[in-house]
Amino acid sequence: MAIVVRLDVMMARRKMSLNELSARVGVSVTNLSLLKTGKAKGVRFSTLEAICRTLECQPGDILEYEEESK
C-alpha cells in the first residue's frame, strides 16, 4: 500500500510499549498491532486523534505516503 504507518518509529521515540499505548489510547493491542504492521484497511479520525494526543505528534509523523514501485 502507498500509505505507510510509522507508528513503531514514534513509539520508539517516545519509548512507549504497545501495551501502554493500548491502555492510554483505548484501542486493543491486537488492533494497534494490525495498524503498526500496516495490515489495517483504514484508521478512524478519532483513533488517529487519540494516538497523536498520546504520542504528542502530528498525523504526518505516523502516516507517510510512499510512491509504489511499478
Partner 1 sequence: MTARVLKGVVNLVLGLALGFLVVAAGILLGAPLLDEPLLSQWPVVAAQPGSDWQASAANMEAALAIEQGVLRIEHFGYGWHWALRVLDLAISGTLVLAGLWRMRRFIGEVCEGLSFTPGSVSRLRWIGLILVVFPLWQALRDTLWHGLLVRQLPDLGLALVSSFQTPNGNGFQLQFSIDWGFAVTGLLLLVVAEAFREGVALREESEEII
Q: Give residues in contact with partner 1 (CB under 8 A).
A: 27, 31-32, 34-35, 40-44, 47
Q: In terms of CB distance, is 31 or 70 closer to partner 1?
A: 31
- Give the up-direction half-sphere exposure of residue 53: CA atoms within 13 A in the CB hemisphere: 10
28 or 58: whose CB is closer to partner 1? 28
In angstroms, the CA 11 to CA 40 distance is: 18
- Closest distance of CB 56 from partner 1, Å: 20
Task: Please name the helix (run of DSSP H) or strand (run of DSSP E) that holds residue 5, with its range, or none.
Answer: strand 3-5
Least CB distance to partner 1 at residue 46 (A):
10
